Structure 1
Amino acid sequence: MATIERARGDESPLVTTVLRQLEHLGLAAQWEPGDRVLANVTTGTLHLADGALQRAIPAVAAPRAATADLTLLPHDDRTVLLTTTVSPAHAAQVHERGWGGYVDTAGNAFLRAEGLVIDIQGRRAPVARPTLSAAFTRAGLPVTFALILCNDVGASANQRKLVRLSGASIGTVNRVVRALRERTPPLLAPDGYELLDTHRLEAEWLSAYTALQPTTWPDERYSSSTWRTALDVVRATALPPGALLSSEAAAARLGAPIRPTTALFYVDDGGTGRRDLITQGRLRRDEEGTISIRPAFWRLTPSPPEKQTVPRLLLRADLLLEDDPRIDEIRRKFFDERR
């Protein structure tokens, strides 16, 4: 087997572990880092050799690859994802999202290159809780959300305003602000609340939200005797003020060329939105129902909702969570996304 010298200092623990797994398969492996996309995400080239045959494969190293990441991280049908763990279900998503393959720290791998076919599934990685920045935890996400929304509408932000919009405590707001200022490079101005890299902050928020939502803010499913289909919800002229539409029904309401099959509502936590929505729609609990209700994780938005839909950032996140190729192209055009 050919020997490849590794440069010191250019590999993260994730990449080092992945390279070791590839070496256990009889491959000489080297990582050539490229650009840092997000805080812990780097593009690069994976160099593999067995005997005289050398291969250079584009790759992205990302410790966590949530549904949003699989869509938004730069990739094509040759790019390999290097990540912590890939379950069989996750592997299917990797393929559906147009990646060329993957390798994880447990040794699960799917690689196809000249003279090389590897398909390993079912290995379990040691369970480890990732360390999240305060800005992207369950408590911090609403504060970061409020900061991004203020920036979107050109509204000034301050400590009191972030407390009021997010519903978080002053302590939580301070921790989020400090975390964003201490990032390298910083995401928030050192002496104010100006965002320094909105695109990167939004990408990290999308990644964190789509990873946490299913267990942190789960849905309740309903059927309705008033709204027989999701299109009936879209066409409704009046909805309870404490209920906002998201996902594909919201996109349709805003003019996207999509025929929604489900409707997702966010309702104000502790307010009357949930009760009023259930009453108006004559909703009844139904695990097979087409209407979902999710608790709002924020208190207020800095501007009135557009056609009673959630802010665009959250709409984008929920469309990503649909994990439905049927709406991928519409979502990309709607938000001008680029791979």
Structure 2
Amino acid sequence: MYVHGVDDARFDGSLPHRLDGVRSALRRYGVELEVHGDLATLRVDDALLERRWRWVEQHAEPDQDGTDGDRWLLLADRIPPARAASARDRGDWYADTAGRAFVRARGVLVDIRDRSGPAARPRRPGAPRAALNPMSPKRAQVVCMMLEEPGLVSASIRTIAERSGVSVGIVQQVLADLGERRFLLHGRTALNRVAELLDQWTAAFASGLGAHLELGRFSGDAQHLGPWSTDGRAVYVSGEAASDELRGPDATFYVAQLDMSAVIASRWRPDGSNPNIVVRRQFWLDPRREAGVHDAPATLRLADLLITDDPRHRLASVPLREMILDRHAR
């Protein structure tokens, strides 16, 4: 099964066992690894990533890893710091049996360092653990809804999962991470240090959840939403179009799915050189909303304003951020 261009006899038949060690280490962080011939598959939340892999030995020089110019998934018993730094600079991914790993792709970041081994320092009680990116898309959905609805944090895990559009397992991971980083009050009664958590979430939105949800970009009249709100569908408005303080052509919309017939009926052009409309997927459950046009959740409106470098947008985001924080202060 593990045909890889490696002389397995050199490992005394131990390569499958050593690969199992890497697989087990990654599984502790919710990452699944499979190898089939020269190709490795990684599953991170709902993301499925593929890349050619190679086994590397500690004594090999880091510059031997990528002499052919390709990008690799490097697997090893131990990835030394020098090789880890070289791999990250070159665009390679890596993982070892000690639990160190690095994977960067669209909407995905895994960065686990110094988990064990003679060079690792023991974790102090209460200190944050090395973990998957807490603002990866699925985890960010959970944080988004808990920031949006202060009472949701104390609801059942299943309720949080349903409202956030994720699995129960993802919610459990998020709650464990927030607890270790002291963003939860004792007993999960409320969020703690909300301003810091909100800033972390908005900072990660552009390259994480925002990119993951994007369905398309178009040029056209953002006011022409009639075709989108028919047949029992809801449209959520965000960004500049949802701000009372801004007047401009830009808009962001959240819909359950991209309907190209509605795009055509709205006279939006998908091939515009300067798109002013962004359409993203609605991930959250909103049982209170009926068909029609509504404002998107405040957390998303804030992130969509801050995603640009427009000083008008940043100024308009200030009262929106204060409104979100006020909800948690009550």
In the TM superposition, what is the alpha-carbon distance from 1:323 to its structure 2 partner? Answer: 1.6
Give the Cα–Cα distance (whole angstroms) in 2 for the partners of residues 260 and 321 of structure 1.
16
Contact 2:134 / 2:177 at 8 angstroms: preserved in 1?
Answer: yes
Q: CA deviation at 1:316?
A: 0.8
Q: In structure 2, what is the equivalent of residue 173 of structure 1?
A: 171
Distance 1:247 1:169, change over 3 A: same
In structure 2, what is the equivalent of residue 109 of structure 1?
none
Does residue 263 (structure 1) correspond to residue 217 (structure 2)? The answer is no
- Superposition map of 1:100-249 within 5 A: 126=89, 130-131=111-112, 133=132, 135-151=134-150, 156-183=154-181, 186-213=182-209, 215-224=211-220, 227=221, 230=222, 232-233=223-224, 239-240=229-230, 241-249=233-241
Which consecutive residues of structure 2, in runs of 5 or more, have no partner in the other structure? 1-87, 91-101, 105-110, 113-130, 324-330
2: CA distance between counterparts of 1:173 and 1:213?
16
Select 2:313's aligned residue among 327, 331, 338: 327
1:149 and 1:302 in contact (8 A); partners too? no
The CA distance in 1 between the partners of 2:319 and 2:173, in whole Å, is: 35
User: 2:146, 2:153 within 8 Å by CA — same for their partners in 1?
Assistant: no
- Gap regions ≥5 residues in structure 1: 1-124
* Residues 300 and 275 of structure 1, relative CA distance in 2, 3 Å threshold: farther
Q: Is this contact kept in 2: 1:262–1:290, CA < 8 A?
A: yes
Identity between Structure 1 and Structure 2 (%): 24
Which of residues 273, 276, 283 in structure 1 aligns to 2:268?
Answer: 283
- Cα deviation per residue 1:40-95 (whole Å; 9 max; x = unaligned)? xxxxxxxxxxxxxxxxxxxxxxxxxxxxxxxxxxxxxxxxxxxxxxxxxxxxxxxx
Shift of 1:193: 4.8
Aligned counterparts of 2:316 and 2:209: Cα–Cα separation in 1: 22
What is the alpha-carbon distance in structure 1 between the residues aligned to residue 192 and residue 263 of structure 2? 42
Q: CA deviation at 1:237?
A: 12
Cα offset for 1:285?
A: 2.0
- For normalisation by structure 1, the TM-score amounts to 0.49
Q: Which amino acid aligns with 2:214?
A: P
CA drift at 1:238: 8.4
Q: 1:292 aligns with which of 278, 283, 286?
A: 278
Q: Distance in 1 between matches of 2:167 and 2:322?
A: 35
User: C-alpha deviations, 1:200-249, integer Å up to 9, x for none?
Assistant: 2211111221332464333512244xx3xx4x349x79845332111101
What amino acid is the match of 1:203? D
Match of 1:111 in 2: none
Asked whether the 8 Å contact 1:247–1:264 carries over to 2, the reply is yes
Amino acid of the structure 1 residue aligned with 2:304: D
Change (3 A) 1:157 1:141: same
Mapping of residues 41-56 of structure 1, within 5 Å: none
Question: What is the number of equivalent residue pairs in this alignment?
Answer: 197
Taking the aligned partners of 1:320 and 1:239, their CA distance within structure 2 comes to 27
Deviation at 1:284, TM superposition (A): 4.0
Shift of residue 308 of structure 1?
0.7
Q: Please give the root-mean-square deviation of Cα atoms over the aligned residues, in Å.
A: 3.5
Higher relative contact order (CA 8 A, sep 6+): 1
Identify which of 291, 295, 310 aligns with 1:309.
295
1:66 is matched with none
Q: Secondary structure at the match of 2:137?
A: coil
